[in-house]
């Protein structure tokens, strides 16, 4: 079972109650939901007509705002609204504040990871000491809200991944813009890669043609040399043996002596004899 499925199952009972619970009953249902230790998604409950109708009742509207805060807000938003509009939100119980701080860890890790230091987190979440901060982070890890490790030596939280949160209506436009920008970047990179591939292929074709042309030229030279050569015999000219004009030439294969060591005449009938000194 995935974490999102687990969270939706935890929310299901509150959705069923919310469908038939208007007014004060809807408020009570919200209070139980945001206090539940296993429920961390709220969009489906927030969309119910009975819940949305709370905005028309001044006594109950603040609990609708509180549910929105748990869905896609943070503890920092809660502090800000308590300062600027103290009557816009209800006072939250300690378990509710703890849960809001757990959800705020997801927001901080996703949007401002440079603030995942112990001093920054203690300031943002109003946590007085390191021990309580570590307890909060550990509880978020066990609730599968964070995949993280505590770096106590460097006073940091190393977060690998986080659970997802509900998306605020105003964030959808930003998400679409971000996805379009990402898609455009991917298209640009793909175009550049395709251009590089085409260039490499063209270069390979050119190199292959040059190699074939070179091999053909070498082969032609070899055939020409074989055709023009003596095919295994080499003739000594006049200058090689000092033969005078009109005198016969002698093949290298024919030595100046016969098998008995006597003088041998040239094959062409010449009468020049050679004697061997003993």
Tell me how many degrees the CA angle 167-20-10 measures, rounded to the nearest 5: 50
Confidence at residue 252, expressed as pLDDT on a 0 to 100 scale? 46
Q: Are 52 and 64 in contact (CB under 8 A)?
A: yes
Q: Are 257 and 134 in the same domain?
A: no
* Overall pTM > 0.85: no
Q: What pLDDT does residue 241 have?
A: 46
> Backbone dihedral region of 23: left (phi > 0), alpha (psi from -120 to 50 degrees) or beta?
left
Which residue's structure tokens are 């549910």?
67
Domain assignment of residue 193, yes or no: no
* 41/134 same-domain check: yes
Strand pairing class (146-151; 156-162): antiparallel
CA–CA separation, 252 and 269 (whole Å)? 16
Q: What pLDDT is stored for residue 240 in this prediction?
A: 45
Residue 175: what pLDDT? 80
Shared domain for 38 and 153, answered yes or no, is: yes
Number of domain units in the chain: 2
Cα–Cα distance, 45 to 18 (Å, whole number): 7
Co-location of 156 and 275 in the same domain: no
In a domain, 217, yes or no: no
- Residue 263 falls within a domain, yes or no? yes
- Averaged pLDDT, groups of 10, the chain, 278 residues long: 72 90 92 92 92 91 94 94 88 94 95 93 95 95 93 94 86 84 92 93 92 90 79 48 47 50 49 45
* Domain boundary pick from 141, 162, 183: 162
């Amino acid at each position: 079972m995935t974490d999102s499925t687990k969270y939706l199952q935890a929310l299901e009972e509150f959705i069923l109650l919310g469908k038939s619970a208007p007014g004060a009953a809807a408020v009570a249902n919200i209070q139980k939901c945001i206090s539940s230790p296993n429920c961390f998604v709220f969009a489906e409950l927030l969309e119910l007509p009975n819940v949305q109708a709370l905005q028309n009742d001044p006594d109950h509207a603040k609990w609708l705002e509180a549910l929105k805060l748990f869905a896609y807000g943070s503890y920092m938003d809660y502090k800000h609204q308590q300062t600027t509009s103290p009557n816009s939100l209800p006072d939250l119980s300690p378990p509710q504040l703890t849960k809001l701080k757990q959800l705020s860890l997801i927001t901080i890790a996703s949007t401002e990871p440079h603030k995942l230091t112990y001093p920054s987190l203690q300031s943002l979440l109003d946590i007085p000491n390191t021990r309580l901060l570590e307890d909060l982070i550990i509880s978020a890890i066990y609730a599968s809200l964070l995949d993280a490790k505590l770096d106590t030596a460097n006073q940091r939280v190393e977060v690998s991944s986080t659970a997802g949160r509900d998306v605020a209506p105003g964030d959808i436009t930003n998400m679409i813009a971000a996805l379009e920008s990402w898609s455009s970047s991917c298209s640009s990179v793909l175009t550049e890669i395709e251009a590089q591939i085409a260039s490499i292929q063209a270069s390979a074709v050119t190199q292959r043609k040059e190699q074939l042309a070179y091999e053909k030229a070498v082969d032609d030279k070899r055939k020409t040399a074989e055709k023009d050569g003596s095919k295994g015999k080499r003739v000594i000219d006049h200058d090689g043996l000092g033969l005078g004009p009109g005198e016969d030439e002698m093949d290298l294969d024919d030595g100046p002596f016969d098998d008995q060591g006597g003088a041998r005449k040239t094959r062409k009938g010449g009468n020049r004899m050679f004697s061997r000194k003993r």
